[in-house]
Amino acid sequence: MLQMLAPHGATPPFPNLSAPLAEVRISQVTGPLLPPRTMVFREGSAGTPQYRVVDGCVATAQTLSDGRRQIIDLIGPGRLIGLGFGDRNRCSAETLGFTRLEAVSETMAQGERDQAFAEMLARSQALVMLLGRKTAPERVASALLDLAGQFGRPARDKRRGAITFHLYPTRGDLADWLGLTLETVSRCLSRLKKAGLIDIRQGDLVTLLDPQKLSGIAAGDRPLSP
């Protein structure tokens, strides 16, 4: 079983990590890794300081009263969470894998803040287009390309341009992000694998074997064979 990493002799600053979806306060810039499914902050709670993802993945989401969830974004290394307006969080933030965060200074340069807001707006607009107009295969292909862009590395594959990445979200997380059912997500992944466009090993190691063709499917320029 994986254990949190902390400097030798240091006391982990994250209380109650054994509880499911434990909400924690980040008190150190270089603290130990947060375990998967740790709630960093909750929708509706008092405003939270901003953090930068150093390693791992964080999902931001909003939830209806009946439990239905819409994942707003999946956020990888170098990107910020906690951006927003008002004194209450408009969404929750939860780790999807072992994740390290660092607190961002309140005096962060205005240029960096503006860039982060611009990126958040652009991704929100892209999600609206995805949910409103794209087909299921187009949505799944778009998601894989996005995740490869955030987490990918060159694959040990003879095909030129192949990219490998760890799939942090589960099929259920992908469904809540893409507005699909779990069954539809699984079916689309199987079709992409059958078409020779992706490879999936051990359930969470994904390789994009032909990113160019996958981009064509994501854009709606190339149909995915049944």
Which tens digit of pLDDT belongs to each residue from 63-78? 999 999 999 999 999 9
Topology adopted by domain 135-218: Arc Repressor Mutant, subunit A (1.10.10)
119, pLDDT greater than 80: yes
Residue-range domain boundaries for the chain: 1-133, 135-218
Tell me whether domains 1-133 and 135-218 share a fold: no
pLDDT in tens, 85-113: 678 888 999 999 999 999 887 667 777 87
pLDDT in tens, 143-164: 999 999 999 988 776 667 899 9
Of residues 23 and 137, more confidence is placed in 137
d(CA 10, CA 27): 13
d(CA 5, CA 97): 14
pLDDT recorded at residue 7: 30
pLDDT recorded at residue 87: 81
d(CA 54, CA 40): 14
pTM greater than 0.95 (yes/no): no
Among 177, 86, 163, smallest CA distance to 126 is for 177
pLDDT recorded at residue 122: 93
d(CA 76, CA 100): 10
Name the class of domain 1-133. Answer: mainly beta
What residue has token string 């652009």?
122
- pLDDT above 70: percentage of residues in the chain: 83
pLDDT recorded at residue 85: 66
3-state helix, strand, coil in the chain (%, to 5): 30, 20, 45
Q: What is the mean pLDDT of residues 160-173?
A: 93
- pLDDT above 90: percentage of residues in the chain: 63
pLDDT in tens, 4-50: 223 323 322 222 222 333 344 444 445 568 999 999 999 988 877 78
d(CA 127, CA 16): 34
